[in-house]
C-alpha cells in the first residue's frame, strides 16, 4: 500500500473538489487491484481495460455524492466496479478470448518451463472454477484486489464475518483441488500474498 488512510481521505476530498491531480493519485492507487478484480470476472483483457476505464469515469461522476461515514473508499469503488461488471454481463455474452489472455509470467520462460507454468495456472483456474460464486468473489476481492475483509464485505453487501467464512471455505476447497489439503486446524485464515501493492491490504480496515 502506498497511500495511508489519512492521505487517501485527503485525496478523496481534493478530488471531490474537482482536483484532477488528486484523482490521478487515486487512480494510481487503485488501478491495478481494480483491473485484477475486473479481469478475474470478465476474462477478456479488452473488456477488462474498457471496464476499468468505465469504473473510474463512473467514480468521477459519483464522487461528489460519496460520503465517507464509515464506508471505506476502496469498498465504495469496488462496489461501483461490481455493479458495472454485472451490467456488462447482462449485455455481453461473448466467449472469452483465451488466446488473448496471455500468461505474462511465461513470456520469458523456456518451452518446458512454460508448459509447467501453464499447467499450474490452469490448475488454479480449474480450482477457482470449482468454487461457489460467492466464495470465488471473496477470493477475488481479498487475494486479487487486496481488499480488507471489511472492504470486501462492503462490496458484496455482507457482514465481515460472512466474508471470513466464505474465504475460509474457499481456501479449504482450493487446497483440496490443488492437492494442498494439509490439516491446518480450524482457525487458519490465509492472507493475500500477491507481492503487489493492493489498497486495503494494509491497515485500511
| Interface with other proteins (CB under 8 A) | 1-4, 18-21, 23-25, 27-28, 31-32, 35-36, 39-40, 45, 48-49, 52-53, 56-57, 60, 101, 103-106, 117, 120-121, 124-125, 128, 139, 143-144, 148-149, 164, 171, 174-175, 178, 180-182, 184, 187-198, 201-203, 205
Shortest reach from residue 186's CB to other proteins, in Å? 11
Measured from the CB atom, the residue of 71 and 194 that comes closer to other proteins is: 194
Q: All 3 cell numbers of residue 125?
A: 483456474
| CB-CB contact of 137 with 157 (8 Å) | no
Taking the least distance from each CB to other proteins, the nearer of 79 and 106 is 106
Cβ at position 39, least distance to other proteins in Å = 4
CB of 86 to other proteins, least distance (A): 19
Residue whose CB is less far from other proteins, 79 or 168: 168
Considering the complex, state which of residue 25 and residue 82 has its C-beta at the smaller distance from other proteins.
25
CA pair distance 35, 15, nearest whole angstrom? 21
- For the chain, what is the radius of gyration of the CA atoms? 18
Distance between CA atoms of residues 132 and 38, nearest Å: 18
Single out the residue of 100, 101, 103, 157 nearest to residue 134, CA to CA: 157
**Are 128 and 139 a contacting pair, CB within 8 Å?**
yes
Between CA 51 and CA 23 the distance in angstroms is 18
Element (H, E) at 156: helix 149-156
Instruction: Pick the closer one to other proteins by CB: 39 or 80.
Output: 39
Give me the least distance between CB of 14 and other proteins, in Å please. 10
Q: Are 90 and 111 in contact (CB under 8 A)?
A: no
Shortest Cβ 49–other proteins spacing (Å): 5
Amino acid at each position: 500500500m502506498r497511500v495511508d488512510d489519512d492521505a487517501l481521505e485527503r485525496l478523496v476530498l481534493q478530488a471531490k473538489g474537482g482536483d484532477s491531480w488528486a484523482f490521478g493519485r487515486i487512480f494510481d492507487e487503485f488501478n491495478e487491484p481494480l483491473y485484477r478484480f475486473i479481469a478475474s470476472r470478465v476474462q477478456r483483457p479488452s473488456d477488462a481495460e474498457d471496464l476499468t476505464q468505465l469504473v473510474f469515469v463512473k467514480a468521477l461522476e459519483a464522487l461528489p455524492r460519496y460520503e465517507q461515514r464509515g464506508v471505506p473508499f476502496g469498498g465504495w469503488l469496488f462496489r461501483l466496479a461490481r455493479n458495472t461488471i454485472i451490467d456488462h454481463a447482462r449485455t455481453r455474452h461473448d466467449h472469452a478470448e483465451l488466446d488473448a489472455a496471455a500468461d505474462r509470467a511465461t513470456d520469458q520462460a523456456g518451452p518446458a518451463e512454460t508448459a509447467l507454468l501453464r499447467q499450474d495456472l490452469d490448475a488454479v483456474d480449474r480450482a477457482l472454477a470449482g468454487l461457489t460464486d460467492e466464495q470465488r468473489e471473496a477470493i477475488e476481492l481479498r487475494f486479487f484486489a487486496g481488499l480488507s475483509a471489511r472492504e470486501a464485505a462492503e462490496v458484496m453487501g455482507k457482514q465481515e464475518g460472512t466474508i471470513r467464512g466464505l474465504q475460509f471455505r474457499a481456501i479449504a476447497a482450493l487446497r483440496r483441488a490443488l492437492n494442498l489439503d494439509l490439516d491446518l486446524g480450524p482457525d487458519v485464515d490465509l492472507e493475500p500474498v500477491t507481492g503487489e501493492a493492493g489498497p486495503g491490504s494494509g491497515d485500511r480496515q
